[in-house]
Amino acid sequence: MPSFVVKYVQVVDYLSTRFGRIAMYLIFLMIGTLLLDAVTRNMLNIPLFWCVELAQFTLAAYYIMGGPYSMQLETHVRMDLLYDRLSERNKARMDSFTVIFLMVYLIVLLIGSISSTVYSIETNQRLFSMWNPSVVPIKLIMVFGIFLMLLQALSTFFKDLAKARGLELA
C-alpha cells in the first residue's frame, strides 16, 4: 500500500481511538445527571427539568462519537449467516465490498446532518420544553461524529483491501 494510505489509516485510527475513549466517559456524565435528577426529585422534592434532556443529549453524543471507535475495534454488530464460514482473506474481500455501501449511506447522512445543522444555526432552533435548550451543540457533535465515522469507514476499507491482498496494514 502507498505510504499516504498507511499514514491516513494511522491518523484516522488515532483520532477514532482518542474520541472513542473520551466518549466512553460520557456514560459517567449521563449516570451522574440521572442520579442527580432522581435524588432531587424523589428525596428533596425539587424536580430539575433539564436533567433528562441533558442525559438524552449525552447518550446521543456517546453513541455517535463511539461509533468510529467501535468500528475500528470490530466490536460492532454483524449478521453472520455465511460470514463465519469464510476464510480471513474472503472476509476481508466481503468487508471491502460491503463497506462501500456504508460509505454511501454515511455520505447521505452527512449531507443531511450538515443541512439540518445549518438550519438549526440560522433559526436558533431549540427544543420545546421547560429547559428550552439549543439543539445546535448536539447537531454539531453529530456532524463531527458522522464525518469521523466516514473517515473510519474509509480506513477500514483500506485495511480490508490490504488484508484481501495478503498484506497487513496498521
Task: Please report where in the chains the cell 456524565 appears, as a residue.
Answer: 29
Q: What is the pLDDT of residue 129?
A: 87
The answer as to whether 89 is a domain residue is yes
Would you state the torsion angle of the CA atoms of residues 131, 135, 137, 141, taken in this order, to the nearest 10 degrees? Answer: 130
The answer as to whether 87 is a domain residue is yes
Distance CA(103)–CA(123), nearest Å, equals 30
Of 107, 112, 109, 88, residue with least CA distance to 154: 107
The answer as to whether 156 is a domain residue is yes
Q: What is the pLDDT of residue 79?
A: 74
Q: What is the pLDDT of residue 170?
A: 56
Domain total in the chain: 1
The answer as to whether 139 is a domain residue is yes
Per-residue pLDDT of the chain (170 residues; tens, 9 = 90+): 789 999 999 999 999 999 999 999 999 999 999 999 999 999 999 999 899 999 999 999 999 999 999 999 988 777 778 888 889 899 999 999 999 999 999 999 999 999 999 999 999 999 998 889 999 999 999 999 999 999 999 999 999 999 999 887 75
pTM check: above 0.85:
yes
Q: What is the pLDDT of residue 145?
A: 97
The answer as to whether 170 is a domain residue is no
Domain that holds residue 111: 3-164
Distance CA(169)–CA(12), nearest Å, equals 13
Interhelix angle 3-24/50-73, nearest 10 degrees: 150
The answer as to whether 169 is a domain residue is no
Q: What is the pLDDT of residue 140?
A: 97
The answer as to whether 33 is a domain residue is yes
The answer as to whether 20 is a domain residue is yes
Cα R_g (the chain), whole angstroms: 20
Which residues are paired to 126 by β-bridges?
Answer: 134
